[in-house]
Amino acid sequence: MAEPTERDPLIKKGTVSTSADGASRGEPEIKRRLGPLEISASNRRGILAGIWLGTFLGSLNLTLVPTMMPSISSEFQKFHQASWLGTAYLLATCTFTPLYGRLSNVMGRRGANNTAIAFAAIGTIMCGLSRNMESLIAARFLAGIGGGGLFTTSTIIVSDMYTLRNRGLVQGVASCFNGLGMGLGGPFGGLITDLLGWRAAFLLQIPLFVLALILTQYNIRYVTPGKSKGTMEVLKRIDYFGSLTLLVAIGSLLFFLSTRYNESLPWSEARVITPLILAIIFFLGFLGVELFVAKEPVLAPGMLQQKVPVLVSASNFLVGACNFSVTYFFPMWFQVVTLQSASTAGMHLMPNSVSMSTGSLFAGWMMHRTGRYKRINLIFGIFPFIGTTLISRLREDSGPVQSWLSIIPLGFGNAVVLQTMLIALLSHLPESHMAVGTGFGQLFRGLGQVSGVAISSAIFQSRLDAELRKRFHTPDAENLILQIRRNSNYIRELLPEQQGYARDSYALALKTVYIFASCLTLSAYLVRLPIPDQDLDKAHARRRAQAEARRNSTAEAGTTNANAVASTSNSTGVPTNTESAESSPTETETEPEGPATEGGPATPRPIAAGRRPHRRRMSTFESMDGTMDLESDRIGGSARDVPSSVEGRSLTSR
């Protein structure tokens, strides 16, 4: 007999038994599969082990490349293109992450998670086997498609299994694995590069991907309410145009930054102006598709009308940009300016890993203990600014305290911020908006990450080129500058005086990046100040009460509609509905909620009979509480206010 999966219906037709206490009354008891809150502790631990191993590997690949870039660029002689190794991964993560919410709904949690693991593993294998920079960049993009899915499916699965207040603590533990992966990426990449070569750093991850796949395949067996669809339905529900226009817009912007600043081409060059124009056109096209065309956009325009989601998303963008600006350029200080080995340079990211894990646990514990998030955000949210300021004051002769510990406030503070902002977002949204809002925030965080690497790389290369030209004036200066920019290891081969000039140029260029990161994190702190506080227990109870009211309303509407159809059929002999009740379940007579207020989530608004809501479904994630059916027009369309002119509401779903 085939093993049941989470895609199987919760209640199978014809599967009944008689309960012990109801046997005498002849009451049937329907057998059912366990939901996410009902599974055993051992099953839950197995699920967490699998998904957290996946997120660890995804985080590891985010920061694996910086300490390997000098070795990779030395082999391919393309250091000026090395930033693409980071931006390609982040571009794929940013573009494809929202789609995994839809896949989690129609394929099931296990199918979506396994898909992400497969993409990440295949891309990682291709990275290890690449023979040129172009194929390596393409492989990083493929790995990023899976990496983004690992984070998304992990968040959804954890949200299925825990209540809102406990979720803060569990997500804090989950962020330990995220922080551990990001912290170990640099040291692992540097150490393996020194010992076995940079290709081995990719290939050694494959056994761990296989283990993560086995754990999730075996343990994720719970069910969530909703209608599972087949492959064709999955393909129909994906926002192709939105994803494509976003991908081309960001990719064109990155190409513009690379050609104009990394390769120093003039503005008159077609390779500079063309991608800039394309970036503008496709970004406007993306907004147009999301606002007016796509039935299920990756971006939820309804969130733009709500204060908290907008502020949280802006903070996520700035925090993501700050984090990756520092992560990608912090090890370079020790490799190029102080001429340390790749493994030693990577080890300087370890304090960041420890501080991120500690900060995540601390934030989760505090929110679990107090049921609040505002105060700890105000206190510890300024820590990243302190950290980036200390980093920007590094010198070649800086002592071990500043060299090793200056990054700690950055990791700790940003971990607290990300945890508290996630819970702040969830607590201010009604249940039917939670998944959409989470996808909205994650999209902007991904945009911030890829923008942080790309913009800081452009700033770095532009300042580096200017500083090198100030110092080198020999007849072969142009060729020398080109060699230094394309191969950082070439500095070790220079004469002492030339080496000093090159190291000074790198130091000033890197400090400019650190100052840029400092401005980003200060802006993020200011953006978060207007976000109001919430009592998490009250917010959770409010949502549960609203959900119960909606379910009762659905049941009452279904009963009323069935009675009306039966009455009409009895009097005329012909049913008024052209679809049977069995194939077309009735929906509730409620309109999607309005925007949430500062005092709590929004409440549903009743609608008049005869009106049909706009069919544009905005959700890219299934319910973060595992209780939502996105195949329903009522739930699926909850992120967009229904136009008053929409008429002709039918009580039967498509």
Report the alpha-carbon distance of residue 415 to residue 357 in Å, rounded.
Answer: 7
Is 45 a residue whose pLDDT tops 80? yes
Least confident segment among 23-32, 260-269, 612-621: 612-621
pLDDT at 593: 40
Report the alpha-carbon distance of residue 4 to residue 617 in Å, rounded.
Answer: 29
pLDDT at 233: 65
Give the SS3 label for residue 11: coil
Most confident of 275-284, 328-337, 602-611: 275-284
Least confident segment among 142-151, 303-312, 346-355, 546-555: 546-555
Q: In degrees to the nearest 10, what's the CA dihedral of 513, 518, 521, 526?
A: -140
Region 402-411: what's the mean pLDDT? 91
pLDDT at 15: 42
- Residues with Cβ within 8 Å of residue 548, at least 6 apart in sequence: none
Percent of the chain whose predicted confidence (pLDDT) is above 90 = 19
Q: In degrees to the nearest 10, what's the CA dihedral of 546, 603, 311, 533?
A: -60
Partnered with residue 29 across adjacent β-strands are: 17
Is 561 a residue whose pLDDT tops 80? no
What pLDDT band is residue 545 in, cutting at 50, 70 and 90? low
pLDDT at 431: 64
Is 118 a residue whose pLDDT tops 90? yes
Cβ pair 175, 419 in contact under 8 A? yes
Residue listed under structure tokens 């992966």: 181
- Residues with Cβ within 8 Å of residue 12, at least 6 apart in sequence: 31
Region 360-366: what's the mean pLDDT? 83
Partnered with residue 17 across adjacent β-strands are: 29
pLDDT higher for 121 or 622?
A: 121
Residue 627 exposure: Cα atoms within 13 Å on the Cβ side: 17
pLDDT at 166: 72
Whole-prediction pTM: 0.71
Q: In degrees to the nearest 10, what's the CA dihedral of 495, 496, 500, 506?
A: 50
Cβ pair 217, 118 in contact under 8 A? no
pLDDT at 226: 53
Least confident segment among 242-251, 275-284, 368-377, 637-646: 637-646
Report the alpha-carbon distance of residue 21 to residue 634 in Å, rounded.
Answer: 37
pLDDT at 196: 87
Is 585 a residue whose pLDDT tops 50? no
- CA nearest 450: which of 62, 152, 94, 80? 94
pLDDT at 407: 92
Looking at residue 189, its amino acid is: G
Report the alpha-carbon distance of residue 503 to residue 501 in Å, rounded.
Answer: 6
Is 162 a residue whose pLDDT tops 90? no
Region 288-298: what's the mean pLDDT? 81
pLDDT higher for 527 or 267?
A: 527
Question: Please, what are the domains in the chain?
Answer: 44-239+295-528 (1.20.1250.20)
Is 56 a residue whose pLDDT tops 60? yes
User: What is the per-residue burial (b if ≥16 Cβ within 10 Å, else e) of 185-215?
Assistant: bbbbbbbbbbeeebbebbbebeebbeebbeb
The strand pair at 590-591 and 28-30 is best described as unpaired
Give the SS3 label for residue 30: strand
pLDDT higher for 475 or 569?
A: 475
CA 132 to chain centre: 29
Is 421 a residue whose pLDDT tops 80? yes
Cβ pair 245, 282 in contact under 8 A? yes
pLDDT at 397: 85
Region 291-295: what's the mean pLDDT? 81
User: What is the per-residue burial (b if ≥16 Cβ within 10 Å, else e) of 276-310?
Assistant: bebbeebbebbbebbeeebebbbbbbbbeebebbb
Q: Counting beta carbons within 10 angstroms of the beta carbon of residue 576, is it exposed (0 to 12), middle (13 to 18) or buried (19 or more)?
A: exposed
Query: How much is the mean pLDDT over the chain?
Result: 75
Most confident of 23-32, 104-113, 204-213, 355-364: 204-213
Region 28-50: what's the mean pLDDT? 74
Cβ pair 246, 95 in contact under 8 A? yes
What pLDDT band is residue 488 in, cutting at 50, 70 and 90? confident
Is 264 a residue whose pLDDT tops 80? no
Region 365-394: what's the mean pLDDT? 90
Report the alpha-carbon distance of residue 376 to residue 463 in Å, rounded.
Answer: 37
pLDDT at 280: 93
Report the alpha-carbon distance of residue 358 to residue 363 in Å, rounded.
Answer: 9
What pLDDT band is residue 19 in, cutting at 50, 70 and 90? very low
What pLDDT band is residue 544 in, cutting at 50, 70 and 90? low
pLDDT at 277: 94
pLDDT at 211: 94
Most confident of 194-198, 367-371, 407-411, 430-434: 407-411
**Sign (positive or negative) of CA dihedral 162, 164, 168, 174:** positive
Is 164 a residue whose pLDDT tops 70? no
**Sign (positive or negative) of CA dihedral 374, 376, 378, 380:** negative
Per DSSP, 261 falls in state: I
Instruction: Tell me the pLDDT tens digit for each residue of 222-244.
Output: 876 654 455 576 567 677 888 88
Give the SS3 label for residue 29: strand
Q: How far apart are the first and last CA of the chain?
A: 33
Cβ pair 229, 106 in contact under 8 A? yes
What totals of helices (H) and strands (E) does the chain contain, helices first? 23, 4
Is 565 a residue whose pLDDT tops 80? no
Partnered with residue 591 across adjacent β-strands are: 605
- Residue 301's H or E segment, with its range, is none
Region 468-487: what's the mean pLDDT? 84
pLDDT at 117: 94
What pLDDT band is residue 647 in, cutting at 50, 70 and 90? very low
pLDDT higher for 248 or 264?
A: 248
What pLDDT band is residue 567 in, cutting at 50, 70 and 90? low
Is 409 a residue whose pLDDT tops 90? yes
pLDDT at 515: 95
Is 254 a residue whose pLDDT tops 90? no
pLDDT at 247: 87
Is 178 a residue whose pLDDT tops 60? yes
Cβ pair 78, 185 in contact under 8 A? no
Least confident segment among 353-357, 399-403, 432-436, 582-586: 582-586
Token couple for 71: 């070795």
What Rg do the C-alpha atoms of the chain give, in angstroms?
A: 27
pLDDT at 168: 64
Backbone angles phi, psi at 597, to 5 degrees: -95, 170
